[in-house]
Structure 1
Amino acid sequence: MTAPLSLPDADLRYLPQWLAAPLADAWLAELIEQTPWQQPQISLYGRRVAIPRQVAWYGDAQASYRYSGLQHEPLAWTPMLATLRERLQDELGQPFNGVLLNYYRDGQDAMGWHSDDEPELGHEPLLASLSLGATRRFDLRRKGSQRIEHSIALEHGSLLVMGGATQHHWQHQIARTRKVRAPRLNLTFRLIHPRTQA
Structure 2
Amino acid sequence: MDLFNNDPNQNLLPYGGVVRYFGKIFDYQKANHFFERMMKTVEWKNDEAVIFGKRIVTKRKVAWYGDFPFEYTYSNKTKTALPWTQELLELKAIIETQTGETFNSCLLNLYHDGSEGMAWHSDGEKDLKKDGTIASLSFGATRRFSFKHKETKETISINLEHGSLLIMTGKTQTNWLHRLPPTKLVKNHRINLTFRTIILDSTV
TM category, shorter: over 0.9
Partner of 1:70: 77
Q: Let me know the Cα RMSD of the aligned residues.
A: 1.9
**Are 1:45 and 2:52 matched, yes or no?**
yes
Does the alignment pair 1:156 with 2:191?
no
2:181 pairs with one of 170, 175, 179: 175
Paired with 2:28 and 2:178, the residues of 1 have a C-alpha distance of: 26
Matched, 1:131 2:138: yes
Task: Please identify, of 127-136 and 46-55, the stretch whose mean Cα deviation from structure 2 is larger.
Answer: 46-55
Question: 1:28 — aligned with what?
Answer: 35
- Contact map agreement 1:120 1:195 (CA 8 A) in 2: no
Question: What secondary structure sits across from 1:160 in the alignment?
Answer: strand
- 2:45 is paired with a residue of what secondary structure? coil
Task: Tell me whether 25-34 or 178-187 shows the greater mean CA deviation.
Answer: 25-34
Cα distance between partner residues in 1 of 2:62 and 2:78: 12
Pick the aligned partner of 2:24 from 7, 17, 23. Answer: 17
Identity percentage of aligned residues: 37
Of 69, 82, 85, which residue of structure 1 is paired with 2:89? 82
Q: CA deviation at 1:68?
A: 1.2
> Structure 1-normalised TM-score?
0.92
Per the alignment, do residues 140 and 14 of structure 1 end up closer, same or farther by CA in structure 2, a change over 3 Å counting? same
Structure 1 residue 2, shift from structure 2 partner: 3.9
Kept in 2: contact 1:42–1:68 (CA 8 A): yes
Cα displacement (A) at 1:4: 2.3
1:108-119 → structure 2 map (5 Å cutoff): 108-119=115-126
Shift of 1:62: 4.3
Distance 1:7 1:51 in 2: 33
1:194 aligned onto 2:200? yes
Mapped to 2, the partners of 1:111 and 1:139 lie a distance apart of 10
- In structure 2, runs of 5+ residues without a counterpart are 1-7
Instruction: Name 2:5's counterpart in structure 1.
Output: none
Q: TM-score, normalised by structure 2?
A: 0.90
Q: Which structure 1 segments of 5+ residues have no match?
A: none
Structure 1's consecutive aligned runs of 4 or more residues displaced over 3 angstroms after TM superposition are none
